[in-house]
Structures are given as structure tokens and as C-alpha cells.
Amino acid sequence: MKISLFQLFKIGIGPSSSHTIGPMLAAGSFIANLKNLSLFHQVQKIVVELYGSLALTGIGHGTDKALILGLLGEQPHLILPESIDAQVTKVRQSGQLMLNGEISIPFDPQIHIIYLRRKTLPPHPNGIIFRASTEDGIVLSEQSYFSVGGGQIAISNSDGTQLTFIEEAPEVPFAFSSGDALLRLCEEKGKTIAEIVLLNECSRNKSREEVFHYLDEIWQAMDASIERGCQQDGVLPGSLKVRRRAHAIYQSLKQKQEQHQGDPLTVLDWVNLYALAVSEENASGSKVVTAPTNGAAGIIPAVIRYYQTFIKGSDQDGIRRYLLTATAIGSLYAGNASISGAEVGCQGEVGVACSMAAAGLVAAQNGHARQIEQAAEIAMEHNLGLTCDPVAGLVQIPCIERNAMGAVKAINAARIALGGDGTHRVSLDSVIKTMKDTGNDMKRKYKETSRGGLAVNVPLC
């Protein structure tokens, strides 16, 4: 289990973990390196080159803003969403940037952020190069980063064939690299998946209380994004002028409730609402939790809120079990396939979130390990081949509705798994391998480039 709970679920700003959180963290890492090399105070110029998907959809996904904020010294989990526009506008208008809040350098985003749309930087489609130089043009430092999905950043080896996470999670006592190994561990140790993950997290210098505190913090941030999304009305940022829907749906559902109108499928309306609310918050650049990415941030919260509201006996422990179990499933995808839309299409974002949510929901309801593995498998099996084709490069169409569809599918997958004894034909490992192979075979235009699918078939005016 290479990826920890703390890496998989991160509080940050939307609309895209790989295109906003990753580049922002990469800027912070570059500054930290300059400081370590005692070069920081000589810097007079910074140029950022964006490659592949970051160059193609970077403007719609807010990569330019994220880079400016990262260079200003902001961090995704600490930034105040309401301060973002003012900070970015100040840099754009003045042509000056206060690097890490300490030294002022000339910076014009139109000149100093370069979009190399026809180039990629091996080995990953989301490459960034930062170059710092003196006034005379002497290069002080140059560093490549890769935003590999879910806000994780990595650097490559010298021949560009292998990636190393910047934050590599330390080894754990109950390591597993496949679904089968995880099931074996549960059987041998007599533990649930959630207990295995908890023990691993505690081995990384965290107490049980700290892990529980983080789990509760994540859920509170998710819950707050549902609440905010239900209150906000109006139009989302960007050229599409997409109208927010969550607010109106919320008002209508409340009215229905007051009038006691019986519709057996109203539960689905609520689940759709929760997912739309978070996804609209994400699209507006507000605070959400990567789960495992920002584009798919609505699914896991929507299914937790469904558990909390509609499942008898739901409690805080159930939510903790849910998130710990979802971490195990997410880490299998991150380790054996990908959670990046630019690498494997939307099956790596909405597909993985759906699989994590289905597994989490079974765990919350005290399903056993084989039922959890089955739910995770079903949820991904029916997302295989899902492409990433955001219209106008914005994380809005098809992303927002896709979260609602993913949440409903996750609940259904959990119900199918809970209705059986865990015996099933297709293993989670097989479906993860299939997802990876399908992603490799997928044409590049369907991998977060906005050059295929809905992105070219939906008129923009």
C-alpha cells in the first residue's frame, strides 16, 4: 500500500486536482528546492512550461491560477477560496509576483507560463518544467514535475522512464499490492480491510486519534461542500455559462418533503443533489476534497451522505470504516493502474471514485471483505472505457452530471454485493488490469485533451 489516506484524500481547491492542486504543490516544491540550494534570493525570473494535457486544458482547468498561487507561497489546504481571485488579479494587473510572499519579481502569466500543446514530457502526460534565472538570464535551477493524478506530484529519473512520488509513503507492516493480497491479509490476520488500513496509517507515526481526527476532518470538509453547493445559485465560471442546478433541486426536494409526497425514487434525487452540489462547488474553484481527484470529488461525499441519511443505524464509526476502506481500494488503483484522467481517461477518476465509494458503503454497513472487493469490482466493471472529454476544457460537462451517475452506480454496486455472499467470477485485480489496458489503448484525444468526444461535438455557442 504505497499511498496513504493523507495523500489520497486532500482538502484543496477545485476544479482539478491534477491541473490545480498538483501544479500548485509543484510550485511550492520548486521554491523549497531553491531555498535548500540557497538560490532563492538570487531569483529574478521564473518561467513555467506546461506539457501535454496540462497545456491543452490548463486554462479551462485553472492551471495558470494555481501556478500563480503556488509561486505566491499558497498551499491548497490552507488557502481561503474567497482570496483567490484578488491575489491572481493583482499579479495579472501589476505584472509583479511576490515569490513565496518574500521577493518581488516581474511575472506576466501570458509570457511566463508557456503552453506547449503539441509536446509531452515523458513519462507522463501532465508534465511541468520550472526554470528560475537571474536578471542576466543565468539559469539557477530547472526542475521537471509530473502531476500524476489526485494532486500527487512526482519527479522522473534521468532518462525519463520512471516516476518517484515527491511524498513517497513509508513502508507499512501490512503491505498489499493487489486485491487478492488484501483479502489474504484480512483472512490471515482476522481483520477487516478498514482495520488493516488503520494499522498501516498508525505505523506512519500517527496515533489512532490523529487518524480518526483526519477522517472526521475530511468528512466535515466534504459535508461542508455539499452544504455550500446547495446554497449557491447562479452561473459557473467559464465560457460555457453553465447554470448551477443543486440549489433549485434542493429547494424542490425540501418542498416535496414538507408536502409528504411519496415517490419511492426520491432517495435518488437526494443522492444526485449531493453529488451535483459538490461538483458545482469544485467547478467554481471552491474548497473540496480530492476523492480520489477533484473532477470526481462528488461521488464519495454523496454516497456517505446517503449512508448517513438513509441507512438505519449509520454512525460516525461507519463513516470512518467507509473512508478507510475506500483508501485501500484507491491505493490499489493508484499503485496498479492510474487515477489520472490524462493517463487512462475518466475511468481513472469517476470510475475509481465509484469503485471506492461502493467498497466504502459495503464496509460502512459491515459487509465482509469479499463483498467489499466485489462491490469495488462491479463499480469499475461498468465504468470501463469511460473517456475524458471535458467541453471547453472546463470541469463541468460531462463531469458534474457524471458524478451524480457515479454515486448512484456505486450505491447499486454495493447493494448487489451485499445481496450475495461475496462469491463472484471477476476479481478486482482483473478489472484494475483491464482498466489500465483500456486506458493504454484509448486514443490520446480522449484523455483530458478536450480534442475528442463531447468536447468536439457540443457547440460552444
**Chain contacts with ligand SF4 (rule: CB under 6 A):** 295-296, 341, 346, 349-350, 388, 390, 395, 398-399, 402, 448
Question: Which of residues 341 and 439 has its CB atom nearest to ligand SF4 in the complex?
Answer: 341
CB of 113 to ligand SF4, least distance (A): 20
CB of 296 to ligand SF4, least distance (A): 6
Question: Which of residues 60 and 318 has its CB atom nearest to ligand SF4 in the complex?
Answer: 60
CB of 90 to ligand SF4, least distance (A): 28
Q: In the Cβ-directed half-sphere of 80, how many Cα atoms lie within 13 Å?
A: 4
Instruction: Tell me if 14 sits within 8 A of 238, measured CB to CB.
Output: no
CB of 395 to ligand SF4, least distance (A): 5
CB of 373 to ligand SF4, least distance (A): 24
Q: Indicate the residue whose CB is closest to ligand SF4.
A: 295
Residue 296: which of 348, 332, 251, 259 has the closest Cα? Answer: 348
Question: Which of residues 105 and 405 has its CB atom nearest to ligand SF4 in the complex?
Answer: 405
Question: Which of residues 277 and 369 has its CB atom nearest to ligand SF4 in the complex?
Answer: 277
CA distance 181 to 445: 35
Question: Which of residues 223 and 448 has its CB atom nearest to ligand SF4 in the complex?
Answer: 448
CA distance 374 to 359: 8
Alpha carbon 151 to its chain's center = 6
Question: Which of residues 340 and 365 has its CB atom nearest to ligand SF4 in the complex?
Answer: 340
Q: What is the full DSSP assignment across 90-149? A: HHHHHSEEEETTTEEEE--HHHHEEEETT--BTTBSSEEEEEEE-TT--EEEEEEEEEEE
CB of 2 to ligand SF4, least distance (A): 22
Instruction: Tell me if 285 sits within 8 A of 308, measured CB to CB.
Output: no
Q: What is the full DSSP assignment across 356-398? A: HHHHHHHHHTT--HHHHHHHHHHHHHTTTT--B--GGG-S-TT
CB of 132 to ligand SF4, least distance (A): 30
CB of 61 to ligand SF4, least distance (A): 7
Residue 360 has phi, psi (to 5 degrees) of -60, -40
Instruction: Tell me if 282 sits within 8 A of 231, measured CB to CB.
Output: no
Does residue 109 have a cis peptide bond before it, meaning omega lies within 30 degrees of 0? no
CB of 19 to ligand SF4, least distance (A): 8
Grid cell of 143 as nine digits: 526542475
Place of cell 476544479: 15
CA distance 74 to 59: 19
CA distance 37 to 430: 46
Question: Which of residues 182 and 296 has its CB atom nearest to ligand SF4 in the complex?
Answer: 296
Q: In the Cβ-directed half-sphere of 130, how many Cα atoms lie within 13 Å?
A: 25
Question: Which of residues 56 and 172 has its CB atom nearest to ligand SF4 in the complex?
Answer: 56
Residues in contact with 414: Cβ distance below 8 Å, sequence separation at least 6, in sequence order: 357, 358, 359, 361, 362, 365, 367, 375
Question: Which of residues 11 and 404 has its CB atom nearest to ligand SF4 in the complex?
Answer: 404
Cβ atoms < 10 Å from Cβ of 437? 13
Question: Which of residues 22 and 341 has its CB atom nearest to ligand SF4 in the complex?
Answer: 341
CB of 26 to ligand SF4, least distance (A): 19
Residue 31 has phi, psi (to 5 degrees) of -65, -45
CA distance 62 to 15: 7
Does residue 398 have a cis peptide bond before it, meaning omega lies within 30 degrees of 0? yes
Question: Which of residues 125 and 341 has its CB atom nearest to ligand SF4 in the complex?
Answer: 341
Question: Which of residues 43 and 399 has its CB atom nearest to ligand SF4 in the complex?
Answer: 399
